[in-house]
Structure 1
């Protein structure tokens, strides 16, 4: 039986509080990297690289997805249940809306969810009052995560007493000598080092000299892991510890919005109205902090070239629009001015829309037709926005570099193009290809969603992390009894 107009309106109104709550959640699943701390990452790798492998340089062993899955199945109902009552110290280099701290917060909440005692310390804390830090700290406190100073006896005592210490990002390594001092050797055997960075200046002994002696390193993609292994050996002469590759997963909240057709339609209408575009228009969006490393300039060149191709070939396609989500004139004035000047010079200002940085990316994922992941140099370490877009059944046009190649199956869930200027024309051709073949666009989006459901959900991530934590705790216990 069909719903009456009144009932339909009432149902939509009831959904709004839930949608607002979801969209403004500070979960990493609904936050894109506002800062450009992770602008460049890793070298290329096979897009079908298996997930959940454990590379042990000393033993040369690999633990496959099947074995990880079996381990997870034996830990029902929650793969992290064994962490109940364990004391975990999380050390972040900063507390901000960038990827590393937000992922560590996500781990904190997963551990709190199974009854672990979780303590958070931030090594580089701003002295002045900061609303973002205040908000994030209180979000943690409200979830039962204890937050205190990274310096002082309390931090040392907690590190010595903890069952597990997680250092988040290479920069967090500075905390070891600065605070623990002579206690460093006692803590290293129970340290899990979660690394996201790939830029050259992180490869310094000041940050990572203790890396060979920790229980393990956890890295977001195989490409990043290989890069760290090579660079640390060649540049610093040190050896990586046992390294675990853990692909990330979408949160349950993000998936709820992505799978709610009513919510998506309401969000799409709202955003399209705010941008001044029509429902039949095609939107290609790049959702990342605006910086040269994320490739907004090359994307706009490709977009302009695609409009020229459509005009030259007299193709019948809907009106194309480019959306740049992540604008911040204060942080990137020179680069963003360059972008805006290009748009004016090419007279495409009616086709290009700049959207300020925002915590809520879900409305834009619900509103666009294609995600462009154009990160340059070594590409993305992983690229959380990529799996978020795939959850919304969006095809992805990505650079053939870094973690993107482990997420996007070229020709099936999206299309890849080279980094740099040589990637502009291929990207332009791919834009035209998806603009002119609606069936290809929709099929790729559906295939991407299926891939997310198979490997990039929160429970997949929990299973992979659970396997790593069990290994690290086993090593820590064997060391303490040695």
Structure 2
């Protein structure tokens, strides 16, 4: 009887160790399974995100370029001065768009006339668009393309061209510095107007409509 009780003592001491070992092993298995599931879900989400991105790219590729009807055409662009402002820069941007759809574009630069250029506005103010895109306040002259870009009192403030606009311009500057909330509201509306009207797809559609009308009239006259 004494020998049996002595032999059973080490066996009884092993039970807590065995239970602790089994508990540790089961915990490790649970963590391993959980990590596997998490990595699997992450991989699945990553795959879904890549698939969505690929689908968006395919959809974008399937959208027809509004200028695609000019593909393989020979286009001559003529400017009257060599500079990086005004009309020549607009022609460079137009050439970039047309070459992007496969048109053959040839540029010719003529010597600028000697007479003075007394224009007080420009056809399209890219600096105005850039200011609106960066949510900056816009102060412009009420002349040229600026009037088509800026909604006076809503997007920015316009003043008359020439000497008549000096006093209104100074008043508009003071207004912007003192009425901060109104200025911030104009900046947000200007940024929204750029996104809705003056991105590259919008301009491509406008250019395409002008070119189509020009081709239609030229074909009707022949």
User: Shorter-chain TM-score category?
Assistant: 0.5 to 0.7
Cα separation, partners in 2 of 1:396 and 1:104, compared to 1, 3 Å: same
CA shift, 1:472, in A, is 2.0
- Aligned runs of 1:196-235 on 2, under 5 Å? none
Name which of 416, 423, 439 aligns with 2:158.
416
**1:145-168 deviation per Cα after TM superposition (whole angstroms, max 9, x unaligned):** xxxxxxxxxxxxxxxxxxxxxxxx
Highest RCO, 1 vs 2 (Cα 8 Å, sep ≥ 6): 1
> For residues 100 and 136 of structure 2, what CA distance do their matches in structure 1 show?
31
Partner SS state of residue 77, structure 2: strand
String of CA shifts for 1:20-60, please: whole Å, max 9, x gaps: xxxxxxxxxxxxxxxxxxxxxxxxxxxxxxxxxxxxxxxxx
- Residue 431 in structure 1 maps to residue 173 in structure 2: yes
Q: CA deviation at 1:456?
A: 1.5
Identify if the C-alpha distance between structure 1 residues 430 and 110 changes in structure 2 by more than 3 Å, giving closer, same or farther: same
Out of 385, 390, 404, which is 2:127 matched to? 385
Task: Provide the residue aligned with 2:86 in structure 1.
Answer: 99
Cα 1:439–1:107 change in 2 (3 A) is same
Of Structure 1 and Structure 2, the greater strand share is in 1
Q: Select which of 62, 66, 70 maps to 1:79.
A: 66
**Maintained 8 Å contact 2:86/2:122:** no
CA contact (8 A) 2:120 2:162 kept: no
Q: Does the C-alpha gap of structure 1 residues 380 and 94 become closer, same or farther in structure 2, counting only changes over 3 Å? A: closer
Give unmatched runs, 5+ long, in structure 1: 1-74, 126-170, 172-199, 203-292, 294-376
Give the CA RMSD over aligned residues. 2.6
1:379 Cα deviation after fit: 3.3
Displaced runs of 4 or more, over 4 A: none
Structure with the greater alpha carbon radius of gyration:
2
The structure in which a higher percent of residues are helix is: 2
Following superposition, the deviation at residue 474 of structure 1 comes to 2.7
Change (3 A) 1:476 1:81: same
SS at match of 1:472: helix
Q: Structure 1 residues 425 and 93 mapped into 2: Cα distance closer, same or farther (>3 Å)?
A: closer
TM-score between both structures, scaled by the size of structure 1: 0.31
Matched positions, count:
160
Residue 386 of structure 1, CA deviation: 0.9
CA distance change for structure 1 residues 80 and 443 in 2, over 3 Å: closer, same or farther?
Answer: same
Q: For 1:112, which of 75, 94, 99 is the aligned residue?
A: 99
TM-score by length of 2: 0.63
Contact 2:74 2:105 in 1 (8 A): yes
Answer yes or no: is the 8 Å Cα contact 2:81–2:109 preserved in 1. yes
Unpaired runs of at least 5, structure 2? 1-61
CA contact (8 A) 2:122 2:144 kept: yes
Distance in 2, Cα, partners of 1:381 & 1:425: 24
Select which of 108, 118, 123 maps to 1:121: 108
Query: Is contact 2:79-2:108 (8 Å) kept?
Result: yes
The corresponding residue for 2:203 is 461
SS in 1 for 2:139: strand
Q: CA deviation at 1:85?
A: 0.9
